[in-house]
Chains A and B, each alone.
Chain A
Amino acid sequence: MKCFLRAFVFATAAMTVGAQAAEDSADNLGKQIFQEGSGEMPACSVCHTLSDAGGTGEIGPNLDDMMPDSDRVRVAVHDGVGVMPAYGEGLSAAEIDAVASYVSSVSRH
């Protein structure tokens, strides 16, 4: 029983570490896209301020102030907002999710 529990705890810990690693990886990708853009999409920082990414753009909303949740970022990137173009066809779903996860996590600190 002890062994079983140990194995269970170990497995659970490994899964947690794995999930954390995947999340970190997604955030790294999100930060990279934010700073450098991807394909046709220019860097988010051209237009947006986000201190974690060193972004100082003043065209779109200041994301440090706005503190959007990930859904709000995801739908904004996918569909566009006002003059902000839609990047739903230029970015993969994984890339959009990565940006959404990254922006929401660092702006809400």
Chain B
Amino acid sequence: MKENLRIPRRHFLVGAAGTAYAGALLGTGTGAAFAQDGDLPDYVAWKEPGAFIQHSANTLETMRGEIGSVVTPNDLLFVRNNLPSLTEEEAGEADAWEVSVEGVAEPRALTVAELKAMDIEQVASVLQCSGNGRGFFEHETSGSQWLTGAAGNVIWTGVPVASVVEALGGAVDGAQWMTGTGGENIPDGIDPLTVMVERSVPIASHQQAILAWELNGEPLPLAHGGPLRLVVPGYYGVNNIKHIKRLAFTEEESQANIQQSGYRVREVGESGAPDQPSMFDMSVKSWVTHPLMDASTGRVLISGVALGGTETLERIEVSTDGGASWSEARFTGPDLGPFAWRSFVIAADLSPGTHRIASRATTVSGATQPEEFSANHRGYGHNGWSDHGVDVTVS
């Protein structure tokens, strides 16, 4: 089998093969990006060079074959920062970072050091941008034209929000939402509500949420929301508030633009509005990560990743004929819970020619990936198995 994806990362863009591969994956939409061809921005200079498609300084997509299998390493994890990440100087000493907890019987500010002494939990969950897969839609969409790489499976360490709430006397009566506010700087000359990152999620989700200070066993990098991030397992990335400075239990949703009109699912051509579905919990999804272009005839191991969103997976199937027939693949590695993804593999004998390889995941409740995913204005939530398939040429 030709190992397109094992080209040494540092040399990836040097060879013509790398260029062709990148071009094949990037599409040609209005937001088409180019494979990362220079130094990474300073704030993510520690990440693996050559493993990313750089849509902008604040949006780095992990290349399809680079996302890892069970857990995505920190240096390969995608980046999507709505606002620039805090600098070390702005963030200060990690343990001294404060979050103000409001909408509880005994509201108060807590430092990370205090949170660390309160309780601890570890949860594996998929971190995925709402727009992952946007580049597959045919209509013109604003925003990064992500294909598969705005996603990773990571392990967070932090304090359960439920423990914090309990320690502070419980949420106030009437609270319907858990609202997190990011600590990013907002410039003068603009109403903070227009650009601040503040999201509200249904209050029930606080039972699974944590305030995290570690990512895959390392201090949470600033680029991923350190020193402290609200993690709502099973929910799209935007709800996982970086540099969290305020956690409030509120009767109303946030009035910030990002909540009221941003991240709302609507028909193509419609404007965002509060009565439209918000990008909260994730849906079932999967995609093949190997092979992606070429293979030799004979036995081929087809592998990929599958997630259930907020549910445990029941099965994963793979097709090598564009969905005409399906075979059940085998999950590999440990089951890290309903919010994590699982890697899968199946062996296939492929004859010479081009094969359309696709995968289709199904959860225990029977939710399964559709063949096509209906278009929505901003290109959110794509989980259609057809577009996520790959053409592999066997010779």
Contacts and interface: CB of A to CB of B under 8 A. Distances in A.
Interface of A: 42-43, 46-47, 57-59, 61-62, 65-66, 69, 71-72, 75-76, 78-86, 88-89
Given A61-B57, A72-B30, A85 B194 contact: yes
A75 B58 CA distance: 18
B142 A79 contact: yes
Interface residues on B, range: 20 to 34
18 contacts: A46-B189, A59-B84, A59-B187, A62-B57, A65-B56, A71-B140, A75-B30, A75-B142, A78-B142, A79-B378, A80-B272, A82-B143, A82-B238, A83-B194, A83-B195, A83-B196, A85-B261, A86-B271
Nearest to B193: A85
Contacts of A75: 30-31, 140-142
Given A88-B271, A89-B271, A83 B377 contact: no
Interface in B216-249: 238
Contacts of A57: 187
Interface of B: 30-31, 56-58, 80, 82-84, 140-143, 186-190, 194-197, 238, 257-258, 261-262, 271-272, 377-378
Contacts of A79: 141-142, 377-378
Contact of B58 (A61, A71, A88): A61
A69 B80 CA distance: 21
A83 B82 contact: yes
State the main secondary structure of chain B at its contact with A.
Answer: loop
A85 B257 contact: yes
A47 B378 CA distance: 21
B258 A83 contact: yes
A80 B262 contact: yes
Contacts of A82: 80, 82, 143, 238, 258, 262
Nearest to A45: B189
A83 to B, nearest CB: 4
A46 B187 contact: yes
Contacts of B186: 59
Given A46-B190, A75-B141, A86-B261, A61 B195 contact: no
A75 B142 CA distance: 5
B37 to A, nearest CB: 13
B53 to A, nearest CB: 14
A53 to B, nearest CB: 14
A80 B377 CA distance: 11
